[in-house]
Structure 1
Amino acid sequence: MSLEPVAFDNEHEAFRESFGRFLEKTVLPDYNKWRESGAIPRSVYRAAGEFGFLGICAPEEYGGGGVTDPRFGAVLVQEAMRVGCTGFAVTLAWHSNVCIPFITAHASTEQKAEWLPALAAGEKLIMPVDGSCLQVSRSPDGDAMVTGAVGSVIGGAVADLLLTVITEDGRNTTLVADIEPSDHDNNPGVAFSVEPVVGSLGLEDAALADVVFGHRMSQSNLVAGDAGSAIAADGDLWLAVVHLAGAHAAFDRTVTYVQERKVFGERLSTFENTRFRLDAVSSRYSAVRAAVFAAIGQRQARVPSNADASALLRLAAGLHQDSVDLGLQLHGGYGYMREYPIAQAFADAGFLLASGGSNTEIYQVISPMARY
């Protein structure tokens, strides 16, 4: 695998500026309030869909942007992480960069026509979920039921559809589960519940929910073929992008702080230990960034292998952890105060690392860092 990073061109930077304005105008003013409530309002996702940010990878005939270049998806994640909207970044990554490309590549024409227009417009949200703890049983009349529970599903409290891989008789099948209330009303034998998770230490804005499945399987909700490994690999790859962007954001915040903070009359940035430790993280960032963006560049042609994607995830997650740890240490006591963004960044990174950060099965002198 080439370690040369993929450069962004003028179109990517214009897209970055556009999404940055959207964040500043529509998301940031009330983001702390949404973090306290545990979820970003659905109206924000609909607004993102109206501006074309959610369906960039969906084909044009289904209301999407028809873009096959995954670097545009990386821009969404980077910008959301840059301004501290970790939950928004992760749900965007799952919805726009994992689930929509999977449906585009593997669903039938009828399924695409049913799901993609609403997903591109933000009228519906879809999240991947770990199906390893779900069971499939058959009734005497041949109906199949998917049962089981999955805890702390990212985006589970706001999702309309869940993308998961189920196993029956040793065969894997991809299920797009509809969790709308109307579905429950029309299927009285189906028990399904979504219980929001409140009070988490980090990622409070990610609409976390404990989800209990009780779905009667319909052929219209099953994606043909065994393509579940693609969900796992893409989940790992895009979570690596989240971690990489989180490491960059934490580093930038720390550099700004040490350049302003004085200790014993000297700026913290002039201390040899400070420069040495920041340079060490910066050098690691350059190496991990090259590997992750090489994979992003190749993603247009193929999904990375599970092994490659998992390795990238581990590299990026370790870098993210060390970046927020260093930031917290160099902030001193201020690092433990919520009004300093590094405190929230530390909590969010800790949640992602402790939980695996994914709804899919596998995962479990100061040198300025290179611009994205």
Structure 2
Amino acid sequence: METDLFDADHEAYRETARVFVQREVVPNLDRWDEVREVDRDTWKKAGAAGLVGLAVPEELGGAGVSDYRFRYVLSEEIAKVGASALQSAFGTNDDIVLGYLLESANDAQRARWLPGFATGATVAAIAMSEPGAGSDLRGITTSARRDGDSWVLDGSKTFISNGVTADLVIVVARTDPGAGSSGFSLFVVERGMPGFRRGRKLDKVGLTAQDTAELFFDGVRVPADNLLGEEGGGLRALMRNLPRERLGIAVAAQCSAEAAFGWTVDHVKQRVAFGRPLAQQQSVGFTLADLRTRVEVTRAYVDRCVRELNAGTLTAVDAAKAKLWATEMQWQVIDSGVQLHGGYGYMNEYPIARAFRDARVQRIYGGANEVMKEIIGRDLTRQ
């Protein structure tokens, strides 16, 4: 889709992304679905190509580039081949975990953890959701208590993207039950720490190749050096970083919708019914016109939000609007696309079918869309 968001540098980066996707992603999509995870070698190849960890400072092996438009370009190229699970995996690393580390990690922590994000050697996760606490983070019961030079972490998390393969996990834990919203802190739990174990790989409706797991913390002794940011500052850090996370979901939704619309247009131009292509049927034309308008209008708002993110002015409310609207639009486009594909749209060999399964969770994770409406509504009433 034509847009004035990108310049020559972004288009040059697109070529690198396109080659990577065709060479390393397309041949592996079915295999990743079978094993229900993206193999580590793919992460390392993405690192070698400069496609992950761009924001890591140059002195730590990255490009030191925080311009989100490069992430947008990669999202577009991944979406074109229907690799939503890879999109989610990369997004967890770059849109979420890396943001927390860049903002809150001290110099020693940055030197320890950031280089692996640039090389693709480090897969990361963030553990917020619990069996009894999803979008309402104040319901978190996982606890951490100070014991000498360590914190002792107890509790469990669920629905954790990259949970099986993650080398490090940012865990949200309650450190002071009496401190209200100031009673939560962030800890970095690393692979191999005694008491840290992973449960089953969750069997999901979609995003099959995105490994998602339950995580358990049974008296895990986390060194005090692994406290991320200040004690009691966990929820504030979450609130500061949620706009980027939610915009990342909106961008993924936009890219997925554009790809699905393209597949649908191609299909109805080729498919003949009642003696002429489906695309020439008035009802189909009206549906396509509606979808095209929704895609283009949403793109204008999402692009605006990306510019604001780059400028440091994107608000949590506007990010919530982008996440709400773009994911609802994505679902409308893909659901209509399945309908217009007819029986073929229900066949797994068609990318629209994979997109249908993968898209459903977009309106749930990162904060359910009902929560996005609550955020937007509260902002209106405060005004």
The corresponding residue for 2:207 is 203
Structure 2 stretches lacking a partner, 5+ long: 130-136, 374-383
Task: Give the percent of matched residue pairs that are identical in Structure 1 and Structure 2.
Answer: 29
Please state if 1:23 is matched with 2:32.
Answer: no
Q: d(CA) in 1 for partners of 2:146 and 2:36?
A: 38
- TM-score in terms of structure 1 length: 0.88
State the number of aligned residues.
Answer: 350
The corresponding residue for 1:356 is 365
- Which of 160, 164, 167 aligns to 1:153? It is 160
- Which of 88, 91, 98 aligns to 2:89? It is 91
Query: For residue 193 of structure 1, what is the amino acid of its counterpart?
Result: R
3-state SS in 1 of match to 2:311: coil
Q: d(CA) in 2 for partners of 1:219 and 1:6?
A: 47
**Contact 1:80 1:89 (8 Å CA) reproduced:** yes
Please state if 1:232 is matched with 2:242.
Answer: yes
Q: d(CA) in 2 for partners of 1:266 and 1:147?
A: 64
The corresponding residue for 1:368 is none
C-alpha displacement of 1:47? 1.1
Report matched runs for 1:35-114 at 5 Å.
Answer: 35-114=33-112
3-state SS in 2 of match to 1:210: strand
Q: d(CA) in 1 for partners of 2:183 and 2:315?
A: 17
- Which of 128, 131, 143 aligns to 1:136? It is 143
Structure 1 residues 124 and 221, CA, compared in 2 at 3 Å: closer, same or farther? Answer: same
Q: d(CA) in 2 for partners of 1:172 and 1:75?
A: 39
**Contact 1:173 1:224 (8 Å CA) reproduced:** no
C-alpha displacement of 1:351? 3.2
Structure 1 residues 66 and 174, CA, compared in 2 at 3 Å: closer, same or farther? Answer: farther
Q: d(CA) in 2 for partners of 1:343 and 1:323?
A: 12
3-state SS in 2 of match to 1:66: coil
C-alpha displacement of 1:303? 6.0
Please state if 1:219 is matched with 2:211.
Answer: no
Structure 1 stretches lacking a partner, 5+ long: 185-190, 365-372
Query: For residue 54 of structure 1, what is the amino acid of its counterpart?
Result: V
Structure 1 residues 338 and 357, CA, compared in 2 at 3 Å: closer, same or farther? Answer: farther
Moved more, 248-257 or 149-158: 149-158
3-state SS in 2 of match to 1:144: strand
Structure 1 residues 260 and 196, CA, compared in 2 at 3 Å: closer, same or farther? Answer: farther
Report matched runs for 1:296-315 at 5 Å.
Answer: 296-302=306-312, 304-315=314-325
Please state if 1:280 is matched with 2:272.
Answer: no
C-alpha displacement of 1:174? 4.8
**Contact 2:173 2:187 (8 Å CA) reproduced:** no
Query: For residue 166 of structure 1, what is the amino acid of its counterpart?
Result: A
1:224-250 alpha-carbon deviations (Å, 9 max, x no partner): 243221232221111111111111111
**Contact 2:260 2:352 (8 Å CA) reproduced:** yes
Q: d(CA) in 2 for partners of 1:84 and 1:18?
A: 18
**Contact 1:12 1:75 (8 Å CA) reproduced:** yes
Q: d(CA) in 1 for partners of 2:366 and 2:206?
A: 11
Report matched runs for 1:249-260 at 5 Å.
Answer: 249-260=259-270
1:263-306 alpha-carbon deviations (Å, 9 max, x no partner): 11210000111111111111111221111111111112326332
The corresponding residue for 2:378 is none
Please provide the CA RMSD for this pair: 2.2
Structure 1 residues 363 and 42, CA, compared in 2 at 3 Å: closer, same or farther? Answer: farther
The corresponding residue for 2:251 is 241
Structure 1 residues 249 and 61, CA, compared in 2 at 3 Å: closer, same or farther? Answer: same
C-alpha displacement of 1:68? 2.1
The corresponding residue for 1:324 is 334
The corresponding residue for 2:348 is 338
3-state SS in 1 of match to 2:51: coil
Query: For residue 15 of structure 2, what is the amino acid of its counterpart?
Result: E
**Contact 2:95 2:248 (8 Å CA) reproduced:** yes
**Contact 1:150 1:212 (8 Å CA) reproduced:** yes
Please state if 1:179 is matched with 2:190.
Answer: yes
Structure 1 residues 134 and 232, CA, compared in 2 at 3 Å: closer, same or farther? Answer: farther
The corresponding residue for 1:291 is 301
1:109-167 alpha-carbon deviations (Å, 9 max, x no partner): 11111111112111111122315334224377685333222222111111111224333
Moved more, 192-201 or 111-120: 192-201
The corresponding residue for 1:168 is 175
Q: d(CA) in 2 for partners of 1:6 and 1:128?
A: 33
Structure 1 residues 255 and 153, CA, compared in 2 at 3 Å: closer, same or farther? Answer: same
Moved more, 206-215 or 113-122: 206-215
Moved more, 112-121 or 122-131: 122-131
The corresponding residue for 1:123 is 121
3-state SS in 2 of match to 1:152: strand
- TM-score in terms of structure 2 length: 0.85
**Contact 2:269 2:277 (8 Å CA) reproduced:** yes
**Contact 2:245 2:366 (8 Å CA) reproduced:** no
C-alpha displacement of 1:29? 0.9
**Contact 1:244 1:316 (8 Å CA) reproduced:** yes
